[in-house]
């Protein structure tokens, strides 16, 4: 059953990447000018990025934001399955205009690692 879920998740990810490829460049353009005030503080940029990642996880899983602490493990503590993880990866790609390879998203174990993934 787990193998079927992984195969389904990989197929969904590929389909969503293919379907979203045309919109990815538009999404990247939109995130490039996200800070309308021109602020360049690394601290506030990190907070904004973390907040966006938490929003994505909350929307994709229905887990309350208060439960999404940085050290919590995605599978063991939050019960996020592989299909939800692929959904999160696709949403992060769209939101940040980055590519999140399947092998990278499958190695992520905590919320903090997930935030770090969009920095690559």
pLDDT digits over 27-57, tens only?
444 444 444 333 334 445 556 899 999 999 9
Our count of domains for the chain comes to 1
User: Which CATH number covers residue 8?
Assistant: 1.10.1200.10
The answer as to whether 35 is a domain residue is no
The answer as to whether 33 is a domain residue is no
Provide the residue range defining the domain that includes 104. 2-28+42-117
- For residue 100, CA distances in Å to 36, 71, 79, 87 come to 26, 21, 21, 11
The answer as to whether 24 is a domain residue is yes
The answer as to whether 17 is a domain residue is yes
Which pLDDT value is given to residue 48?
Answer: 87
Counts for the chain of helices (H) and strands (E), in that order: 5, 0
The answer as to whether 36 is a domain residue is no
Mean pLDDT of 68-87: 93
| pTM across the whole model | 0.63
The answer as to whether 50 is a domain residue is yes
């Amino acid at each position: 059953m787990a193998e079927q879920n992984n195969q389904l998740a990989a197929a969904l990810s590929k389909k969503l990447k293919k379907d979203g490829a045309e919109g990815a460049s538009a999404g990247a353009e939109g995130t490039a000018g996200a800070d309308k005030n021109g602020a360049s503080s690394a601290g506030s940029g990190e907070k904004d990025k973390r907040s966006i990642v938490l929003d994505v996880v909350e929307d994709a899983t229905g887990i309350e934001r208060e439960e999404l602490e940085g050290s919590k493990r995605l599978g063991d503590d939050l019960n996020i399955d592989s299909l939800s993880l692929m959904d999160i990866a696709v949403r992060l790609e769209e939101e940040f205009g980055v590519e999140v390879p399947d092998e990278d998203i499958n190695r992520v174990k905590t919320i903090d690692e997930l935030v770090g993934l969009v920095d690559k």
